[in-house]
Amino acid sequence: MKKLLTILIVLIPLIINAQKVFYVNAKSGLNFRAKPRGKVLGKFKHKKALEVLGYSDEIDYIKDGENHISGSWARVRNDGKIVYVYDGFLANKKPVDNYGEIKYMTVLCDCFGQFDKDNYSESTLRKIAETYIDEAGGMNFFYDVTPPDIEDIEKLDINKLIQAHKNKIKYLKSIKINSTYWTRRIKEEVEYAKKTFIVDRVMLLAYKNPEKLNDYAVGDEASHYRSVLIAGGKEMLNEWEKLIQEKKRGRYNLDTYENEYREKRGSKRKYDYARSDLMRYRMWNNMKHPKRPNRDNDTEEFLKLFFYDNCSCDD
């Protein structure tokens, strides 16, 4: 038992400080120090391979040109001695001379990456970032078919929906890259866009003609609401009342909400209000939507396209 315990104690530090090779990504060289933020002892040349033994707990942020770089202090070997370098200037692949750089965003981070221009184009990587990494990015082909106000519903235009769909498909198909993973993901996203268009089209047309909901297999949960919307009249108003009572639970401004509902219920457009709410909160939320492609590996595969990347993130 004592021998086994000794082996475990020895192995744990080795696992935590697993060695890995990185490359200096600083054309003017990278200073190495006796300790984090300590005295400069010398400088490693650009592209030099370094064996990283572990990292300190300190995180520093510096500005390098237009880029904001975050990093900790890496322990590396230099002639048998342990020294420290700022890992914000370490690349996971050997830097290339003919490189390009793009900026991209994630949910919490502003990032930039450097890539081999002989393998990828800036346009291709930017499109991948906007489509798969930054969901609020530049690929803005979304057309909302569930607006909250009946005035916006009246402005819905099937031709605008069709054009937005065509633009999205064209954009996705314009991404050309020599990568098995991304070729597959682009095909998946194209098929997903085609399927979601069918749902969006049915929803848009159903505001004026609820019987259009029969054109789509909505599923068991939504079939009841489809019948109510098609029936209209008192049956639809009663279902709307149930929805309002459900939405009232937990609201801090209950009186205001109740007055707004009573005002709508007493208006000449009460059926329009009822149909709008039931379409948005009952039909849309309960109908069968296409299953979105798995995106779990997108970020990891995207980073593989760079020899160097760095992110500054909000806490």
**251, 255, 260, 265: CA torsion to nearest 10:** 100
Cβ atoms of 170 and 131 within 8 Å: the answer is: no
Cβ atoms of 20 and 52 within 8 Å: the answer is: yes
Strands 67-78 and 49-64: antiparallel
Report the amino acid identity of residue 212.
K
Higher pLDDT, 136 or 79: 79
Taking the complete model, does pTM exceed 0.85, yes or no? no
Of the candidate ranges 2-16, 106-120, 189-203, 278-292, the one whose mean pLDDT is the lowest: 2-16
Distance, in Å, from the CA atom of 289 to the CA atom of 286, rounded to the nearest integer, reads 9
pLDDT band at 171 (very low <50, low <70, confident <90, very high): very high
CA 10 to centroid of chain Cα atoms: 40
Q: What percent of the chain clears pLDDT 90, i.e. is strictly above it?
A: 69
Instruction: Please tell us whether the domain made up of 2-92 is placed in CATH 3.40.1350.10.
Output: no
Whether the per-residue pLDDT at 8 is higher than 50: the answer is no
Running DSSP on this structure, what letter comes out for residue 22? Answer: E
Domain ranges of the chain: 2-92, 101-203+292-303, 218-286
Tens-digit pLDDT profile for residues 172-204: 999 999 999 999 999 999 999 999 999 999 999
Q: What percent of the chain clears pLDDT 70, i.e. is strictly above it?
A: 90
Of the candidate ranges 165-174, 255-264, 293-302, the one whose mean pLDDT is the lowest: 255-264
Distance, in Å, from the CA atom of 71 to the CA atom of 59, rounded to the nearest integer, reads 6
Whether the per-residue pLDDT at 29 is higher than 60: the answer is yes
pLDDT band at 67 (very low <50, low <70, confident <90, very high): confident
With CA atoms as reference, report the closest residue to 277 among 230, 237, 312.
Answer: 237
